[in-house]
Amino acid sequence: MWRLLGRRGPSGYSSSSTAEEVTEGIDGSGLTAIVTGASSGIGAETCRVLALRGVHVIMGVRNASAGACVKAVIIKEIPNAKVDVMVLDLSSMSSIRNFAENFNSQNLPLNILINNAGIAFAPFTLSEDGIELHFATNHLGHFLLTHLLLEGMKRTAQETNIEGRIIIVSSDSYKLTYHEGIRFDRINDELGYKSILAYGQSKLANILHAQELSKQLKHEDVKITVNALHPGGIVTNIMRYQGFLDGLVATLGKYVLKNVQQGAATTCYLALHPQVRGVSGKFFVDSNITEVKSHATDEDLAKKLWDFSMGLIKVQMTS
């Protein structure tokens, strides 16, 4: 199979490394992970590789039947895999609250949270909570989910003395956002809306969220790391809202883009690899730390986004 050739960084991995390769020899037995957007693409591959390494995987999926199909494929390959499917729509506050309540009621440990689900380049749409869909799904949904699961992760880390890891799948598209970075005053405004900038805004929010949460956890001396990543250009269905581009990616992408096995590599690396123990608040590309543009390291912007997001979820949770 044709594979991208890439220069290997300090980690020893490159753009051509696969998720299986970066986790080779790692035993994840006894760990529990939640993966959002787990029914297709790099989310499904992430679940498969984590299960292969012995991790108990909770698949958060919008479509239960699609999730069940992925689970069946994993079980067929890995008969002793521990995989569960739970319904989770990241664009819906009520769905997120239900998911977190159901998970927390099971009294399971939670070592790894992988915020992977996302949409891209959708026409202007408001979520059921009245929030622009990219921001609602890619950032705010994961912000709320992380908030609702964080105490359980802290408890797991303290009781097991095993480092918890939160991984947020962002994108290099954070570089292409609105001129103010985050349109706080016009987050739900159709005027001036551009799907590519709305997507970039949500991906910038992912990086800022990771940095601010990491900063707070370090201050609390909590044994949980938080990192964001760019998976690379992947042949998936994320372009489904752009018919022509989706067709072009499906036809030509296999020649110039990563496959899902390569696309899931950095996520799985951050979830399991001992090389990143204690590393937090960073942005990774091809399993290596990469510097980000200045607007993605703006601490004031990150804190403003945190307060803004907390305000939104409190409004929604009390409405």
Catalytic residues: 193
- Token look-up 């123990």 returns 277
Burial of 178 (0-12, 13-18, 19+ CB in 10 A): middle
- Token look-up 């069940």 returns 68
Rg (CA), the chain: 18
What is the C-alpha to C-alpha distance for residues 257 and 92, in angstroms, rounded to an integer? Answer: 31
- Token look-up 């499904």 returns 44
What is the C-alpha to C-alpha distance for residues 216 and 64, in angstroms, rounded to an integer? Answer: 35
From residue 10, alpha-carbon distances to 6, 14, 276, 289, 290 in Å are: 13, 9, 12, 9, 11
From residue 58, alpha-carbon distances to 46, 70, 101, 140 in Å are: 11, 12, 14, 20
CB 25 within 8 A of CB 272: no
